[in-house]
């Protein structure tokens, strides 16, 4: 039997007659040829015949086994004999100028003759029917370059197709497929065209791509697609326009979603493709996908497993996230938006991000950690089990454990905070997976929130309105140092207000009332309340202290004032008495000098009815008639 599709069978020898060859049976895997000798060959005798046939290039599918052209020759090699007649050999020769590669099977390395002829030769084969090799030989070829434009969203994208001159079907097939695939991929992924320019697509052999059917160079915008690459490979490489290390950092995630989206649009492109599952055979080469090395560093078995595993992971992620969830993740990744954003419905009273505010951005392409965070931030699902099953190395598992514990604390503290924003250092520590630091900050945040509850209760009991100053300090970036001081100050201000309120004299007695003359402790207490609500805690405490001092000292001040009043009254009374005495004394002192210095007044005495003697004017005896 010979390879399927063989033709032009000829049998010749040096003897007479006309030997011949004809097909007796054809299948998809082999062709049985009947050889007719020119004459009988009797026992003990031998003869040499030359059997030749052609392996025709049937055209059609790019992945066909036989390719024959000026640029490339590829075909399977068999040995011809039977197990009962071992010892046959195989020799394959190529003209000068070809580069020959054994892509499958085992055969000696090529040797080059002085004239440039390249030969591959086996030793005697003990079991000829088990021999197989697949050879690919190419030589420098001329390329035909064509361009076309497709529109991705609103962006015109120029495609440059560089195919071999003798392989026009490749250029047409690949150009048509990429032109239709890019708009469909953009819609499925939810992102516009991610590049400034277009793409250049080269036809290659897989050897020049490191054994891969396709390679994407994001820096140059060049795609290498092997001549025999199937349509699913073309779709996969087209998806690499988005997933190439610039959107997601890790190789496994870029390959995962390039495969996923390439297959997702395949049906709409009329391409039949399913992707490779993780078979038991592939499981033998299982590795954590975080351990998957760069292109060209892994064995074929590891590469085959990793490609199949990444597709499985991508499908599992997509099932949990849903199309819209994935689009949200890619949008955030493309914009550099971190996970752990301030909740969008928070108001702008503090330093948090409110509705319409700019999100916290600046992130680079997320690695396996950032991708996990973005998935859980933008969807309602948990992906921890997937990461543990497929992604994480043994050294990564403790990080996942710490993440679970710290995220639980984070969610609790976030809920307790209510409208207050956790400060950015907490979110940054969570984003960086610095969980020890994050846990310490969250403990401090919890302490402040406990103090807030105590302050709110105390303020409510005291009839005080909470100021915004504790919230502002809580949302600051100093690790809660200012919030700790603010909480202490607010509690102290409330205590001093309460002390002042407790010292209020609801029904002051006379002495206390006298002590309160001219004071305004109620005004001071009201001022303390107003200042507290405004966050002026120092002045609030001073105003409360002033009111408390006024009430506390009212009795003492009243007694002092009463004593002072009594003293003043006595002093006034004494002053009045002294003035009275002084005035009286002054009146007496003035009568003597007036009489002595003045002349007696003239008077006409009444007639005396019984005068006894005359009265002299100078006599100082009483004048007038003597009484009867």
Q: Is pLDDT of 63 > 80?
A: no
What confidence tier does 65 reach under pLDDT thresholds 50, 70, 90?
confident
- pLDDT on residue 565: 84
Q: Is pLDDT of 448 > 50?
A: yes
Task: Check residues 597 and 176 and name the one with the higher pLDDT.
Answer: 176
Q: Is pLDDT of 195 > 80?
A: yes
Residues 140-158, mean pLDDT to the nearest whole number: 93
- pLDDT on residue 288: 98
Residue 103 burial class via C-beta count within 10 angstroms: exposed 0-12, middle 13-18, buried 19 and up: middle
Q: Is pLDDT of 602 > 90?
A: no
Output the CA torsion sign for 323, 216, 289, 278.
positive
Residues 577-589, mean pLDDT to the nearest whole number: 78
Q: Which helix (H) or strand (E) holds 143?
A: strand 143-152
What confidence tier does 603 reach under pLDDT thresholds 50, 70, 90?
very low
- pLDDT on residue 425: 96
- pLDDT on residue 212: 73
Domain boundary among 470, 502, 534: 502
- pLDDT on residue 123: 92
Residue position matching structure tokens 């001071």: 524
- pLDDT on residue 141: 76
Eight-class DSSP state of 466: P
- pLDDT on residue 82: 75
Asked if residue 329 is part of any domain, the answer here is yes
Q: Give yes or no for a contact between 374 and 430, defined as CB atoms under 8 angstroms apart.
A: no
Asked if residue 294 is part of any domain, the answer here is yes
Task: Check residues 302 and 503 and name the one with the higher pLDDT.
Answer: 302
Instruction: Lowest mean pLDDT of 8-17, 70-79, 323-332, 346-355, name the range.
Output: 346-355
- Which of 453, 306, 329 shows the shortest CA–CA distance to 380? 329
Residue-wise pLDDT for 554-563, tens only, equals 788 888 888 8
Domain boundary among 83, 111, 136: 136
Q: Is pLDDT of 604 > 50?
A: no
Q: Is pLDDT of 599 > 50?
A: no
Range of the domain at 549: 504-578
Q: Is pLDDT of 449 > 90?
A: yes
- Integer CA distances (angstroms), 203 to 212, 215, 220, 458, 477, in order: 13, 11, 16, 77, 55
Instruction: Give the whole-angstrom CA distance, residue 304 versus residue 558.
Output: 98
For helices 300-335 and 251-264, the axis angle rounded to 10 degrees is 80
Sequence-ordered list of residues with C-beta below 8 angstroms from that of 603, at least 6 positions apart, any chain: none
Residues 556-579, mean pLDDT to the nearest whole number: 87
Residues 612-620, mean pLDDT to the nearest whole number: 45
- Which of 72, 194, 191, 83 shows the shortest CA–CA distance to 129? 83
Instruction: Give the whole-angstrom CA distance, residue 334 versus residue 331.
Output: 5
* Residue 69 and residue 162 share a domain: no
- Which of 187, 291, 296, 186 shows the shortest CA–CA distance to 241? 186
What confidence tier does 72 reach under pLDDT thresholds 50, 70, 90?
confident
Q: Give yes or no for a contact between 214 and 226, defined as CB atoms under 8 angstroms apart.
A: yes
* Residue 434 and residue 564 share a domain: no
Residue 74 burial class via C-beta count within 10 angstroms: exposed 0-12, middle 13-18, buried 19 and up: buried
Domain count within the chain: 4
* Residue 214 and residue 102 share a domain: no
For residue 4, the tally of other CB atoms under 10 A from its CB is 16
Output the CA torsion sign for 474, 476, 478, 481.
negative
Asked if residue 415 is part of any domain, the answer here is no
Task: Check residues 376 and 40 and name the one with the higher pLDDT.
Answer: 376
* Residue 250 and residue 120 share a domain: no
- Which of 144, 188, 392 shows the shortest CA–CA distance to 290? 392
Q: Is pLDDT of 347 > 80?
A: no
What confidence tier does 625 reach under pLDDT thresholds 50, 70, 90?
very low
- pLDDT on residue 459: 94
Q: What is the dihedral of CA 468, 423, 455, 354, to 10 degrees?
A: 40
Mean pLDDT of the chain: 88
- pLDDT on residue 351: 31
- pLDDT on residue 394: 97
Asked if residue 390 is part of any domain, the answer here is no
Domain boundary among 316, 334, 352: 334
Sequence-ordered list of residues with C-beta below 8 angstroms from that of 562, at least 6 positions apart, any chain: 511, 514
Sequence-ordered list of residues with C-beta below 8 angstroms from that of 573, at least 6 positions apart, any chain: none
- pLDDT on residue 587: 66
Asked if residue 387 is part of any domain, the answer here is no
* Residue 255 and residue 196 share a domain: yes
* Residue 31 and residue 106 share a domain: yes
- pLDDT on residue 622: 45
- pLDDT on residue 152: 97
Q: Is pLDDT of 442 > 50?
A: yes
- Pairing state of beta strands 222-226 and 199-204? parallel
* Residue 65 and residue 35 share a domain: yes
- pLDDT on residue 508: 85
Sequence-ordered list of residues with C-beta below 8 angstroms from that of 195, at least 6 positions apart, any chain: 157, 221, 241
- pLDDT on residue 494: 94
* Residue 524 and residue 455 share a domain: no
Asked if residue 179 is part of any domain, the answer here is yes
* Residue 65 and residue 80 share a domain: yes
* Residue 127 and residue 162 share a domain: no
What confidence tier does 590 reach under pLDDT thresholds 50, 70, 90?
low
* Residue 320 and residue 258 share a domain: yes
What confidence tier does 228 reach under pLDDT thresholds 50, 70, 90?
confident
Asked if residue 609 is part of any domain, the answer here is no
Instruction: Give the whole-angstrom CA distance, residue 119 versus residue 117.
Output: 7
* Residue 570 and residue 498 share a domain: no
- pLDDT on residue 69: 84
- pLDDT on residue 519: 83
Residue-wise pLDDT for 495-530, tens only, equals 999 998 888 888 888 887 887 888 888 898 899 999
Strand partners, 26: 31
Residues 349-354, mean pLDDT to the nearest whole number: 36
Residues 258-272, mean pLDDT to the nearest whole number: 95
Asked if residue 498 is part of any domain, the answer here is yes
Strand partners, 151: 156
CATH number assigned to the domain comprising residue 317: 1.10.390.10
């Amino acid at each position: 039997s010979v390879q399927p599709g063989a033709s032009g069978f000829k049998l010749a020898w040096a003897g007479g007659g006309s030997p011949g060859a004809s097909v007796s049976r054809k299948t998809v895997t082999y062709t049985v040829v009947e050889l007719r000798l020119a004459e009988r060959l009797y026992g003990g005798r031998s003869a040499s015949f030359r059997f030749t046939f052609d392996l025709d290039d049937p055209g059609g599918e790019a992945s066909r086994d036989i390719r024959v052209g000026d640029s490339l020759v590829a075909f399977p090699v068999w040995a011809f004999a039977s197990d009962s007649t071992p010892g046959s050999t195989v020799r394959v020769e190529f003209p000068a100028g070809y580069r020959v590669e054994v892509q499958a099977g085992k055969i000696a390395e090529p040797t080059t003759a002085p004239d440039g002829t390249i030969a591959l030769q086996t030793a005697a084969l003990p079991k000829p029917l088990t021999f197989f090799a697949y050879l690919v030989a190419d030589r420098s070829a001329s390329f035909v370059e064509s361009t076309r434009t497709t529109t991705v969203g609103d962006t015109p994208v120029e495609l440059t197709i560089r195919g071999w001159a003798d392989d026009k079907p490749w250029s047409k097939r690949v150009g048509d497929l990429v032109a239709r695939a890019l708009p469909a991929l953009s819609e499925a992924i939810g992102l516009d065209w991610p590049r400034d320019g277009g793409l250049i697509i080269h036809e290659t052999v897989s050897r020049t791509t490191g054994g891969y059917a396709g390679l994407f160079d994001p820096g140059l915008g060049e795609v290498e697609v092997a001549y025999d690459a199937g349509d699913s490979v073309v779709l996969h490489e087209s998806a690499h326009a988005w997933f190439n290390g610039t959107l997601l950092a890790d190789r496994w995630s870029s390959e995962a979603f390039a495969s996923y989206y390439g297959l997702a649009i395949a049906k709409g492109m009329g391409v039949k493709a399913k992707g490779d599952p993780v078979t038991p055979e592939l499981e033998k080469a299982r590795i954590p996908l975080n351990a998957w090395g760069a292109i060209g560093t892994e064995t074929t078995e590891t590469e085959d497993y990793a490609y199949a595993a990444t597709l499985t992971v991508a499908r599992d992620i997509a099932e949990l996230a849903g199309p819209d969830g994935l689009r949200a993740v890619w949008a955030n990744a493309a914009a550099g938006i971190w996970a752990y954003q301030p909740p969008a419905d928070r108001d702008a009273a503090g330093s948090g991000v409110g509705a319409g505010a700019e999100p916290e951005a600046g992130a680079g392409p997320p690695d396996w950690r950032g991708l996990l965070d973005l998935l859980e931030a933008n969807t309602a699902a948990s992906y921890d089990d997937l990461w543990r099953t497929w992604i994480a190395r043994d050294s990564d598992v403790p990080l996942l454990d710490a993440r679970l514990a710290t995220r639980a604390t984070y969610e609790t503290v976030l809920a307790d905070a209510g409208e207050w924003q956790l400060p950015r250092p907490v979110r940054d520590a969570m984003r960086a997976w610095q969980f020890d630091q994050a846990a310490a900050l969250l403990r401090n945040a919890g302490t402040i929130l406990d103090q807030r509850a105590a302050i709110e209760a105390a303020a409510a009991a005291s009839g005080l309105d909470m100021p915004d100053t504790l919230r502002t300090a809580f949302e600051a970036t100093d690790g809660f140092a200012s919030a700790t001081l603010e909480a202490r100050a607010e509690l102290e201000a409330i205590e001093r207000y309460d002390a002042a309120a407790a010292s209020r004299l609801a029904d002051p007695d006379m002495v206390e009332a006298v002590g309160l003359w001219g004071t305004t402790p109620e005004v001071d207490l009201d001022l303390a309340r107003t200042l507290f609500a405004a966050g002026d805690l120092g002045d609030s405490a001073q105003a409360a202290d002033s009111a408390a001092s006024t009430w506390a000292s009212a009795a003492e001040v009243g007694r002092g004032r009463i004593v002072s009043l009594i003293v003043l009254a006595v002093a006034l009374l004494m002053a009045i008495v002294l003035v009275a005495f002084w005035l009286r004394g002054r009146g007496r002192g003035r009568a003597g000098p007036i009489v002595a210095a003045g002349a007696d007044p003239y008077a006409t005495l009444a007639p005396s009815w019984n005068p006894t003697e005359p009265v002299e004017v100078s006599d100082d005896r009483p004048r007038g008639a003597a009484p009867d």
